Amino acid sequence: MQDILINWAPQETRVAIVENGAVQELHIERALERGLVGNIYTGRVARVLPGMQSAFVDIGQERAAFLHVADVHVAGAAHGGARGDGSGAQTPIERLVFEGQTLMVQVIKDAIGTKGARLSTQISIAGRLLVFLPQDDHIGISQKIGSHELREQLRARMTALVATTDGSPTGGFILRTNAEEASDEELADDIAYLRKTWGVVRERGFSSPPGTLLHQDLSLVERVLRDLAHDATGAIRIDSKMQFDILKAFGEEFTPGSVAKLEHYKGERPIFDLFNIDAEVAKALARRVDLKSGGYLIIDQTEALTTIDVNTGGFVGARNFDDTIFKTNLEAALAIARQLRLRNLGGIIIIDFIDMSREEHQNAVLAELRKQLSRDRTKITVSGFTQLGLVEMTRKRTRESLAHMLCQPCPVCEGKGQVKTARSVCYDILREILREARQFNPKEFRVIASAAVVEMMLDEESQHLAGLSDFIGKPISLKAEPFASPEQYDIVLM
């Protein structure tokens, strides 16, 4: 059983999914940094790049968005970018779009780092039970829905429901996982809502200039009922009466089964204090994650990939060393799956479990990892152990990780995670003075540096400083300043 806690403020909404007293997922939406995924815009093609089979599209954001040929919808094609003649060949992007062209586009991936948002001209609008595909006419079923017989039954029901009075379908649909037990009436209501929404979007698209937002996905509070709540959800607690009323009204219209689970939290303690969630957030930003047994994980997130290193630490509880390693790796598999959800880590992930000599231990750890990852609502692929004993996996990335959302690179080390030693800075200063002395002829060189650097130059490096002063024939004075970075210094020509 899981609980969903919603902490709402005008500037920020935070949603925590808690199971057995532990935070499993954390979702954050800030009013000024709201994600763009699902938004539909009128865009203008700014540049076509045949060499990359892509185009840059202006949608009114700070950075131009990115449209790849595979995401360009072609009428009659099986999928974006492919010809509709059944040949399976892909039409070059320069024959599909041109500079200055106005397109209706949808964001499928938020801007991450220096990369702009990724777009598609295949429009889809998500409802409670269905996803509407106005440019297609096929009926799709979520892969997570049961047996082949059930999928075919649902397909037949949907085919009948989406047909108009003249028997021709108008738009395609994909049944979401929670539509498995939906009634025809519920499906029909969702169909009507989605078609109405699309009608408004299309009308606005005809008369709006490039860069116009035509449709925005639901807020995080509303997406809790649409996407996060399910049968195993015990309670949905929210600490804002205004948002509670809004959510209740939304639920009564679109998710009546979840309305009974809604609770307005009136406690004196902040709602996130109930399960010590703020402390869990702080831990999720740390590089080290301690395991109950005494082992620990080291998680390093880089531009290219994320690495997770498993260590035994102080765990010595098993009968022999092999068992100690095996039990640590099993515990780590559970912790890694939780950390991936909590930190929202995506892209390529490399896991370095402690080396196991027995193949059955490797298989058991891999099976446990896959079992724990199966709870993730994000698409994941696990490749298994490599020849070097590493586990390679990918997790679909659609938005910024928790660390990138809440933190920024350190201004002192500029994200390197380390700074030069005081001695290294001393030697940089001595080289710089020698370089300056060859170009200029001041009366004196004054060094302004951090206290640690000045102290070292007066003590351990005093002989080298005096030798340089004699060599250039100029006095060198020192002054300590409280610089933010120990690497920072200035050399003033007096």
Per-residue model confidence as pLDDT tens for the chain (494 residues): 789 999 999 999 999 999 888 899 999 998 887 878 899 999 999 999 999 999 999 999 888 999 999 999 887 654 444 444 445 567 899 999 999 999 999 999 988 777 889 999 999 998 878 999 998 888 888 877 767 888 888 888 888 888 753 444 578 899 987 787 788 888 888 888 888 889 889 999 998 999 999 998 888 998 898 888 877 889 999 999 999 999 999 888 777 878 999 999 999 899 998 888 999 889 889 999 999 888 999 999 888 899 999 998 766 655 678 888 999 999 999 999 999 999 999 999 999 999 998 899 999 999 999 999 988 878 899 998 998 899 999 998 767 788 888 888 888 888 788 899 999 999 999 999 999 999 999 999 999 999 999 999 999 999 999 999 999 999 999 999 988 788 999 999 98
**What integer pLDDT is reported at residue 88 of this predicted model?**
52
Q: In what order do the strands lie in the sheet with 130-133?
A: 125-126, 130-133, 172-175, 139-141
Runs of H (alpha helix) within 210-311: 220-223, 241-254, 256-259, 277-284
Task: Round to whole Å and give the CA distance between 408 and 406.
Answer: 7
Dig out the tokens for 384 from the structure: 């298994």
Q: Which helix (H) or strand (E) holds 125?
A: strand 125-126
Please, what sign has the CA dihedral across residues 325, 389, 398, 345?
positive
Matching residue, tokens 């449209």: 67
Give, in degrees to the nearest 5, the angle at Cα 241 between 237 and 242: 120
d(CA 331, CA 290) in angstroms, rounded, equals 11
pLDDT at 185: 83
Q: Please say whether the dihedral angle defined by the alpha carbons of residues 380, 383, 386 and 389, taken in this order, is positive or negative.
A: positive
How far apart CA 365 and CA 325 sit, in angstroms, is 11
Integer Cα distance of 64 and 55 in angstroms: 10
Q: For residue 23, list its beta bridge partners.
A: 18
DSSP string, 1-24: -EEEEEEEETTEEEEEEEETTEEE
- Report how far residue 38's alpha carbon sits from residue 122's, in angstroms, rounded to the nearest whole number: 11
Torsion angle (degrees, nearest 10) of CA 192, 195, 196, 202: 180
Long-range CB pairs of 255-262 (<8 Å, 24+ gap) are 255/128, 255/225, 255/226, 255/229, 258/225, 258/229, 258/233, 261/229, 261/233, 261/234, 261/235, 261/236, 262/236, 262/238
Query: Which helix H or strand E contains 462, and what residues bound it?
Result: helix 462-472
Residue 18 and residue 310: Cα distance in Å, rounded? 25
Q: In what order do the strands lie in the sheet with 380-385?
A: 288-290, 296-301, 305-311, 347-352, 391-395, 380-385
pLDDT score for 179:
80
- The answer to whether the beta carbons of residues 72 and 96 sit under 8 Å apart is yes
Q: Tokens 């997922």 label which residue? A: 25
CA distance 315 to 176: 44
Burial class (CB in 10 A: 0-12, 13-18, 19+), 459: exposed
Tell me the pTM: 0.71
Cα–Cα dist 345/337, whole Å = 10
At 36, give phi and psi (nearest 5°).
-105, -10
Distance from C-alpha of 309 to C-alpha of 298, rounded to nearest angstrom? 5
- Strand 65-68 and strand 118-120: pairing? parallel
Residue 76's pLDDT is what? Answer: 62
Type of residue at 9 = A
Question: Given this model, what pLDDT does residue 77 score?
Answer: 57
Helix (H) or strand (E) holding 41, with range, is strand 40-49
Distance CA 132, CA 174 (A): 7
CA atoms within 13 A on the CB side of 147: 3
Q: How many CB atoms lie within 10 A of CB 229?
A: 21
Q: What are phi and psi of 490, to 5 degrees?
A: -135, 145
SS3 94: helix
Note the pLDDT of residue 232: 83
**Strand intervals (E) in 183-334:** 213-215, 233-238, 262-264, 288-290, 296-301, 305-311
* Cα–Cα distance for residue pair 117/473, rounded to 1 Å: 59
Q: What is the pLDDT of residue 401?
A: 87
Instruction: Let me know: does 486 contact 410? Beta carbons within 8 Å.
Output: no
User: N- to C-terminal Cα distance for the chain?
Assistant: 72
Vertex 123 angle, CA 130 and 120, to 5°: 130
Q: How many CB atoms lie within 10 A of CB 291?
A: 19
3-state secondary structure of 347: strand
Beta bridge mates, 9: 12
Two structure tokens written together for 458: 């007066």
